[in-house]
Amino acid sequence: LLLYTCYTIVFFFLKGFGARIGVGNPGFFFTIATITMIIIRLGGAAFFDRVNKVKATALSLAGLGLCNIGLGHAQGEILFFILSVLFGIGWGIVMPILTALMFDISLPRFRGLNVNLALVMLQAGFFFGPFLGGLFLAHSGYVILFYCCALLSFLSAVLTWKVSEPVKCER
């Protein structure tokens, strides 16, 4: 939920932010990020099957937190578009691995349910991101908005470690 909330905040408020810092075509951010995500997913598919999913998820979330801090301080097109590549790398790694991690850490009888609930979190993020982002933006500005995204990303990284610990349960 926290990942997708942050993603949608960037998605919904980037155009206004880009215009504010003088970027001629802020929408190009998502073109670059999407191309980067596709390259990461195509090129990293075999790697994603072998990697420690908890570590990769947590590191990607932490990296996205740093990207959000950077975005809050971006001035002009160069840093703005460099950050689009970095966001694309982070999103390209974390989104497929997070779904696989959800499947891996779930008990077999709950795997289908938990993967479906993860999709519900994506949809909830598309509600909470614009709603909460609009509230933060109206009261504090873009820097604080992106700092809040960073905080949520770092919290997600910590929670990834916590919820991924092996659980002893009765079968």
Q: Lowest-confidence range among 3-7, 60-64, 145-149, 164-168? A: 164-168
**Helix (H, G, I), strand (E, B), or coil: what is residue 167?**
coil
Distance CA 77, CA 142 (A): 16
pLDDT in tens, 122-150: 999 999 999 999 999 999 999 999 999 99
Spatial contact of 21 and 75, defined as CB atoms under 8 Å apart: yes
- More confident position, 153 or 171: 153
Enumerate residues 6+ apart whose C-beta is below 8 A from 138: none
Please return the burial class of 99, using the count of CB atoms within 10 Å of its CB with bins 0-12, 13-18 and 19+. Answer: middle
Instruction: Give 169's pLDDT tier (boundaries 50, 70, 90).
Output: very low
Per-residue pLDDT tens over the stretch 4-55: 999 999 999 999 999 999 999 999 999 999 999 999 999 988 888 889 999 9
> What is the pLDDT at residue 65?
98
